[in-house]
Chains A and B, each alone.
Chain A
Amino acid sequence: MATVTDRPTTARSLNITGLVAGSLFGGLLAGGLLHEYDTIHNTLVLEDLYVFFVMGSAIAIAAPLLWFLERRRTNTLMTGLLTLSRSKPERHHVVGGVLFGVGWALAGTCPAPALVMLSSGAWLALVAIAGIFLGLYIREVQTRVPLSPGDREQHNRPVVADFGK
């Protein structure tokens, strides 16, 4: 089974995969105006549940597909057998969730939409992006755990473990 960075060609196709997946992701977020504070805020005050419908329908499509693909033991194009990862809820998921939730409500954005907000020409996105980098960095310094490459092998380490996610 090829690992993700063992050959230059693999690294290149992986980078292209990243760029394409990122572009599609950013494009879809922009299409739904998910980079606008108003879209997020209107959902969070339960006035227009657009964001919840987006998340719910995304999961409703992805979950059965992934279940099916794992069950029939599908090979991925680049990294061998498709395997899903599941972990038990721990305290840090709840603590992190509360902090993230307060941040989501205040900043009205999250990591991916903040980048799209910047491409939409809204300069306040720079404030949001800087804050996200700072928050991640503070935690990194605090735990003194080296950065997770975000790849499979690192997936089950504590705290920064699910970071690829």
Chain B
Amino acid sequence: MFDLLPAQLPWWVVGPGLGLLVAGLFLVNNQPLGASGAYVQTSGLIRRRPDTAVWRVWYFAGMFLGGLVVTQVLRDNAGGDVRSGYDALTGTFSMPVVVIIIFVGATLLGYGAAVAGGCTSGHGLCGISQRSPASLTMTATFVTTAVVVSLTMRAVFGGAL
């Protein structure tokens, strides 16, 4: 709507901002900023589980809301900056294939986060910031795996990848 933000904020704004947010949430209620945990609680609320931590559902809604404010209000999308979210992928494969890749990948994300006990935010940001060896191990493992898989995909399929 308004053109208040550049297309992409520099990493030295986003990263330290996230760092302050992580420390800030610990200062308020001693909790890590975990996104997969928010999914688990939201799923629990939908299925009316009695042990749901409702504040994490508000956190889930907040992530969507914050994204909405930045992408739809603060950033000007009129100039053709709206993207599919998957430009390189849709430029390489047909849509049904893209949907399958995303769905399989996302299911692995959910399952892997459940097995490991956290995701990029919980282990990657908050866990390492707490100096937890388990989080460092999990993060080093998923980053290395993802680099290997991505380079392999580029080598095999080429295209826009």
Q: Using a CB–CB distance below 8 Å, which chain A residues touch chain B?
A: 4-5, 11, 14-39, 41, 44-46, 50, 52-63, 65-67, 69, 74, 76-90, 92-112, 114-122, 124-125, 127-140, 146-152, 159-165
Q: Are A38 and B127 neighbours in the complex by a CB distance under 8 Å?
A: no
B1 interface contact, C-beta 8 A: no
Chain B proximity of A108: nearest CB distance (Å): 7
Q: Mark B137-153, 1 if CB is under 8 A from A, else 0.
A: 11111111111011101
Among residues of B, the one whose C-beta sits closest to the C-beta of A158 is B117
Q: How far is the CA of A76 from the CA of B110 in the complex (A)?
A: 31
Q: Are A102 and B146 neighbours in the complex by a CB distance under 8 Å?
A: yes
Q: Are A55 and B15 neighbours in the complex by a CB distance under 8 Å?
A: yes
Among residues of B, the one whose C-beta sits closest to the C-beta of A104 is B146
Chain B proximity of A101: nearest CB distance (Å): 3
Task: Choose one: A60, A80, A136; the contact of B113 (CB below 8 Å).
Answer: A136
Chain B proximity of A154: nearest CB distance (Å): 9
Task: Choose one: B69, B89, B112, B121; the contact of A135 (CB below 8 Å).
Answer: B112
Interface centre among A36, A69, A108 (most CB of B within 10 A): A108
Q: Are B82 and A121 neighbours in the complex by a CB distance under 8 Å?
A: yes
Q: Are A32 and B14 neighbours in the complex by a CB distance under 8 Å?
A: yes
Q: Which residues of B contact A136 (CB under 8 A)?
A: 36, 39-40, 43, 110-111, 113-114
Give the size category of B's interface with A: 35 or more
Q: Which residues of B contact A20 (CB under 8 A)?
A: 62
Q: Mark B14-27, 1 if CB is under 8 A from A, else 0.
A: 11111111111111
Q: Are B123 and A162 neighbours in the complex by a CB distance under 8 Å?
A: yes
Q: Are B66 and A96 neighbours in the complex by a CB distance under 8 Å?
A: no
Q: Mark B54-65, 1 if CB is under 8 A from A, else 0.
A: 111111111111
Among residues of B, the one whose C-beta sits closest to the C-beta of A162 is B117
Beyond A77-B28, A87-B132, A132-B36, 20 extra complex contacts between A and B, CB < 8 Å: A11-B54, A18-B55, A22-B63, A22-B64, A26-B64, A27-B67, A27-B69, A32-B13, A44-B147, A67-B131, A69-B27, A94-B138, A99-B116, A100-B108, A100-B113, A102-B108, A118-B64, A121-B77, A122-B86, A132-B39
5 contacts between A and B (CB under 8 A): A4-B29, A26-B64, A37-B86, A83-B30, A135-B107
Interface centre among A106, A128, A133, A165 (most CB of B within 10 A): A165
Interface centre among B64, B85, B138 (most CB of A within 10 A): B85
Q: Are B108 and A106 neighbours in the complex by a CB distance under 8 Å?
A: yes
Q: Are B111 and A99 neighbours in the complex by a CB distance under 8 Å?
A: yes
Task: Choose one: A22, A74, A96, A111; the contact of B138 (CB below 8 Å).
Answer: A96
